[in-house]
A and B are shown apart, each in its own frame.
Chain A
Amino acid sequence: MLTVSGSPHIHGDSSVKKIMYTVVMAMVPAMLVSVYFFGLDALRVLLISSLACLFFEWLIQKYLIKGPVTINDGSALVTGILLAFNVPSNLPVWILLIGAFISIGMGKMSFGGLGKNPFNPALVGRVFLLISFPVQMTSWPAPKLLFGSITSTDAMGGATPLGFLKEGLKNQTVPELMKDMPDYAMELIGFIGGSLGEVSVIALLLGAIYLLAKKVITWEIPTAYIGSVIIFTGILWLVNPDMYISPVFHLLTGGLILGAFYMATDMVSSPISSKGQILFGIGCGVITILIRIWGAYPEGVSFAILIMNAFTPLINRGFKPKHFGEKIQSA
């Protein structure tokens, strides 16, 4: 029997599964660093979050939707790891389970599953937890090394550098506060308080290079996002360095790098065209800084990405890729 179907008759080697497990691989360095800095707590959060996301997806697909179960496509695992990356390592288990349920249930499955969700599922879960359990979500453990005995006085417990800054600026200037903050090198390797996956800029960049090389993400969104943060905070810093901290600080602290490379780039919830992606990235950058500097929260990456996710359909409408033969050239 011969198969008869329309062309093309061959298929490239890409698949959803391959893409998802490439993302998982890219997150391995940050996972290792998180376990190194936050110990077994980090491992516990990573495992529970991942397993819970897989479990809830299975439960919903099998018993609510009664359709095919697709938990081995890797997407629930990615959501699980990203959710873990976005919470403190000492988050109580029951809160983490609620976060996983909201991520998968509300963020993903209620819209029709993978590909249909307008928002990044992990961020939906994260923001839900942040609003519902603000205390637990913002009490950060100080990093303590899994091996070795270095305890740094620079490593502040109880607050992230961004939180410390926001609180401190109420009655102190930036240069005064800088004395009590970890130096840039510490922030670069991640020896600071924060959600477990966001602390190490180096580990995140390693994975990001891998994602770019594997063409799972493209340069537009991260570049526009980070670039607009640098420009925006740079201008403020030049105008008044007593009130506004340097762009380097903004780059190295909080969830900017994690957000720019791993969450804003989520293909499902970000724009299609190159131009649209650049606008999306700029929007993320501007909103992040508006919240960080003038908002009620010390950090704005999650909110910024979710807000821009909501604009994605509109951006897709307004920013089309360049058509071939659109611009009439003379012979």
Chain B
Amino acid sequence: MNLNRVKHIILKEFIHILRDKPSLAIAFVMPVMMLLLFGYAVTTDINNINLVVLDQDMTSASRALIQAFQNSNYYVVTGYEMSYTGVKNEIDAGRAKAGLIIPHGYADKLSRGEQSPVQIVIDGSDPTVARTVFNSAQLLGQEKSAELRLASLDRAGLAQKIPAGIDLRPRVWYNPEMTSLRFNIPGLIGLVLQNITIILTAFALVRERERGTLEQLIVTPVKPRELIVGKLVPYIVIAIIDVALVLGIGVFWFDVPVAGSTALLLALSAIFLMSALGLGMFISTVAKTQLQAMQMAIAILLPSVLLSGFMFPREAMPKLVCFLGYVMPLTYFIEILRGIILKGLHLYQLWADVVPLTVFGVAIIALSSLRFRKRLD
């Protein structure tokens, strides 16, 4: 390995990147944009569901129930309708996701100690919203019933006779407020890094082939490994800047602090980058044109979003699909990121992910060097 030669390749590659505006944008604007977009758009926390109310009872008891729905923060009452058709129209038009129907005689039945039916109509087209409505409405109903029961027992002077029951005390670790943002940010850091590095490096060699400059390089004494290393170094530098950028946005803008060691996080990021850069290089040795390289990059990026556990819990996947996720370096890296950022795990707790990630990185870089050597002959 002639270091002087490698230095000149690195310099040249930096000039390419600096003079190419789209490359620069991919390197530094895309990560910020993706992080902000995903950070705000990808959320499974549902609040402020639009609720339409049909109150046929018009009593203080029915108003108390409506108030309870509003107070829960899950619902915003968008309107009061006078008929069932009115409720249907609102939900059909999408102005409301749920309808609360309190029938005539609600307060009377309650005061007589009878069970009093209340209907909640749910727009089930988005199951996530529907599930939230379903669960929260049920919870509200139970709470309200318990309250009423307690009040009537109290009136009968029997309140102290209620059995104590179980006192279940939930304590949520790592993400106590259970916000999906906290869960998403670490995964997002991995995803953004993967996308940037694979896309940029996939183009690195193909560009030379497409423009005919590779033919010129082949007749020079440059060795394949010198070319590969020289081309990788600039992207490693960019990727490291991106790690800092993305992590900074996560910590300071989205307020997701790193619970564990930042140094460990950076060290393991470097191992992941080796895999991602290697994958990009590999694409570069297989693809003949930049268009092909782009298509191959997408063919790797898209499944990795779905299979890595970034969005969907891998536990819920069928065995085969779940297994496919193990082929992707992002799967391991997201585990590592969540482990360090949310749980504050140490290296000894992360071996199961670090080892396969390292093996993958070494293998893919070796493979692309080998493939490239063949192409030179």
A, B co-complexed: no
